[in-house]
Amino acid sequence: MTTRRQLLKTTLAMLGSAGLLGSARRILAQPAMKDMMHMHDHVTPTPPRSPSAPVGPGRVVTPNGTSLPWKMEDGYKTFRLVAEPVKREFAPGLVVNCWGYNGQTPGPTIEAREGDRVRIYVTNKLPEPTSVHWHGLILPNGMDGVSGLNQKAIPPGQTVRYQFPLRQHGTQMYHPHFDEMVQMAMGMMGFFIIHPPAGEEQRIDRDFAIMLSEWFIKPGAATPDPSVMSDFNLLTFNSRVFPGTDPLVVRLGQRVRIRLGNLSSMDAHPIHLHGHNFRITGTDGGQVPSSARWPETTVMVPVGSTRDIEFVADHPGDWALHCHITHHVMNQMGHGIPNLLAVMTAGLEEKVNGVVPGTMLMGQTGMGEMMDMGAPRNSIPMMGGAGPFGNIDMGGMFTVLKVRDGITSYQDPGWYEHPRGTMVEPVTETR
């Protein structure tokens, strides 16, 4: 006799062999997904802040973000986080239904000092339970935030209080430890930065924090699909893609720190800086001793970790800062396309159009020109935006470090004006 369990097993095996297990999983996951699709019906998200809102009360600059205000309460530096649906513009033309904190994704950067006692009220305005884990922090076990292990999950509507002393300094993070796959794929993450008790060992003039994450949003859709496991099509710096990423503006000669955190679901990101070399000075485990630092131009940031890099900005110009995985500097790239590179397609497009009207054959000489293609509603072109010399063929995890002499503000100074004789020029070979 066939039991129900056996039947289910057989069915799953058949689905698996037919390559249909993925859709079966999706069907099994339907109740949770269904709740998610409807969340915008019964939860009113906080209106989005300006993506370039001014820097908050801290001294760390979170490009396209802010730091979280605090006040003293019973001797505790006290913060308030509200977990809630948020709308985030990734770049002009693409507004995404995310989850985050206090109207933002990533959530506002928490800044405190080693030796502080902190208290953090967390209110859950999501349609499902959540919790907050303080990633990398040394704290009492009951404050660690893993739902089921260290605490009961916070149901919708409830506020809980976390409180603990800060016994370390460095770049840490916060994120949920309930329905992790969905909640982080929806944008729930933030920095928790702890400054050293007696100031920096070496003066830091500009201190930036950039969170790396990855998403799948079907072109034309507005809600990320958290079930995607490898084919991410939006790769973000602080939940923004180029050309929506704020530049990092610094004055010539300043000592710069860039804190990178990675809460992507699958990928490590090799972040590359042009025009300078740097030292990796810290991780979420603490400071790297100076004897253990070596020069680099690319830093690998594994999933679930942070890396601090430091350098003196001693070369004026507009310097790219980007992930070196080439697919991570593309926006909403479709990967199921035929490879036409170097294929002779003369006359082919007309013939194919006779059978499949509207076909465009592209990519014979590379994809650099695809920027000019139209895009569906609520989606953005695969690559970049206008630069001073034409289109910049990158999107996603890309921004610009702008090093300038004599600037008096950190407003975007525009494009670099190159000294005479320091630019590429076309030539006629005479030899």
Binding-site ranges for Cu ion (CB under 5 A): 269, 323, 325, 328
Minimum distance of Cu ion from residue 396's CB (angstroms): 8
**Closer Cβ to Cu ion, 116 or 267, answer by number:** 267
For residues 316 and 413, what is the distance between their CA atoms, to the nearest angstrom? 12
Q: Would you give the end-to-end CA distance of the chain in angstroms?
A: 88
Pick from 150, 142, 149, 212: which is nearest to 184 by CA?
A: 212
CB of 369 to Cu ion, least distance (A): 24
Nearest to Cu ion of 66, 238 (CB atom): 238
Considering the complex, state which of residue 77 and residue 328 has its C-beta at the smaller distance from Cu ion: 328
Between 160 and 333, CB nearer to Cu ion: 333
Least gap, CB of 206 to Cu ion (angstroms): 23
Which of 88, 135, 309 is closest to 208 using CA atoms? Answer: 309
From the CB of 201, what's the least distance to Cu ion, in Å?
A: 30
Closer to Cu ion by Cβ: residue 79 or 398: 398
Q: How far apart are CA 98 and CA 85, in angstroms?
A: 6
CB contact at 8 A, 398 and 404: no
CB closer to Cu ion out of 177 and 269: 269
Per-residue tokens: 415: 């494009």
Please check whether residue 373 is in contact with residue 381, taking contact to mean a CB–CB distance below 8 angstroms.
yes
Amino acid in the structure at residue 167? R
* CA dist., res. 96 & res. 213, Å (int): 14
Nearest partner of 231 among 324, 300, 332, judged by Cα: 332
Nearer to Cu ion (CB atom), residue 40 or residue 274: 274
Neighbouring residues of 150: CB distance < 8 A, sequence distance ≥ 6: 141, 142, 143, 144
CB of 16 to Cu ion, least distance (A): 31
- Minimum distance, C-beta of residue 172 to Cu ion, in the bound complex (Å): 21
Q: How far is the CB of 218 from Cu ion (least distance, A)?
A: 20
In the complex with Cu ion, the residue whose CB is nearer, 178 or 232, is: 232
Asked whether 171 and 284 are in contact (CB, 8 A), the reply is yes
Toward Cu ion, which CB reaches closer, 260 or 323?
Answer: 323
What's the closest the beta carbon of residue 236 comes to Cu ion, in angstroms? Answer: 10
CB of 145 to Cu ion, least distance (A): 27
Residue 269 CB, nearest distance to Cu ion (Å)? Answer: 3
For Cu ion, give the closer residue by CB, 132 or 241. 241
**67 versus 306: smaller Cβ distance to Cu ion:** 306
- Cβ at position 202, least distance to Cu ion in Å: 29
